[in-house]
Amino acid sequence: MHATLPLMRESDFPAINRRRLETLQVNLGWAVQTYNATEALANLIHPFWMLPLLGILELKARDIVGYCTLQFVVHVPLVLFLVWILNYTIPYVAPIRP
């Protein structure tokens, strides 16, 4: 393997706070996937992607409230359960500190 530490540059990008992940002993990759899953869930519940369709189909926002409620009731428990149970499929690897 190549030594990559000398190649890293200082950046104004915020550093990843791994202290909480180390306390919970959660894999860093899985923490990122959990964030992605919950972010996608929010896009299903608040469908900004549907705004153009509302204009094209001449619907009002209240016409899709049932759809949003159904997405919330079905997908929130499902996604939270899957995030919780699949967390145990990736083993925790302690970070290597230079």
pLDDT digits (tens, 9 = 90+) for 38-51: 888 887 777 777 88
What is the pTM assigned to this prediction? 0.58
What tokens appear for 9 in the block? 């540059």
- Percentage of the residues of the chain whose pLDDT score is greater than 90: 5
Give the model's pLDDT for residue 6.
Answer: 66
What's the CA gap between 16 and 35, in Å, rounded? Answer: 13
Tens digits of residue pLDDT in 52-74 = 888 898 988 888 888 888 888 99
